[in-house]
Amino acid sequence: MEAEHRYSKMEWLFYIIILPLLFTALLSGIILQFLGVDVTGKIAGAARELPVVSSFFPDEEGAVVDAQAAADAAKQKKIQELQDQVTALEGEKQQAQSDLKKKDNEINRLKEQISDLEAKAGTKDPLKAKAETYAAMAPAKAALVMTQMSVTEAKQLLAKMDSKAQAAILEQMEPAIAAKMMSS
């Protein structure tokens, strides 16, 4: 049988009081750190005030200066990045303006080409103009002139006239000549 082990007062003090207090302090510190409280900073600040322990911690002023230098370096880096972005965007802007000018020139060239084509299309077909002239004449006189033309040319002129003018002119021609002009 085992003999009951009796704890000394020092062991009892360590196991019953000191160890649970250390556990509770550590757990509380972790929870407070997650909640946003700067526990480590406060502990380091308190440790800096102790005479022997303060030699293990760097000066707070040195840490502040280092933090400021790091912050300044980060700001300079960010400024440089932003300046690079501005330069790149200005290059893109100039390229876009150049492309826009090219497109405008192309549009103007195409507009000129359209107006040239419209001007050319605006001039009447000479055959259509002749056909209108014959349609405006007296049918008997137009028939007399058309019988003197080749059958192909007369067919082309008749094709450009409206059906009333065609009928009036063909009516004045000899039936054999009119038949030739109407055949395909």
* Residues 6 or more apart whose Cβ sits within 8 Å of residue 174: 147
Residue spans per domain, the chain: 9-57, 59-123, 126-182
Confidence check: pLDDT of 7 > 80: no
**What is the pTM (predicted TM-score) of this model?**
0.36
Query: Measured on CA atoms in the order 17, 22, 25, 26, is the torsion positive or negative?
Result: negative
> Tens digits of per-residue pLDDT, 61-79?
555 567 788 888 999 999 9
Amino acid 70: pLDDT: 85
- Planar angle of CA 16, 40, 22, nearest 5 degrees: 5
Confidence check: pLDDT of 91 > 60: yes
Task: Tell me which H or E stretch contains 81.
Answer: helix 60-122
Amino acid 20: pLDDT: 93
Q: How confident is the model at residue 153 (pLDDT cuts 50, 70, 90)?
A: very high
Can you tell me the mean pLDDT for 168-180? 92
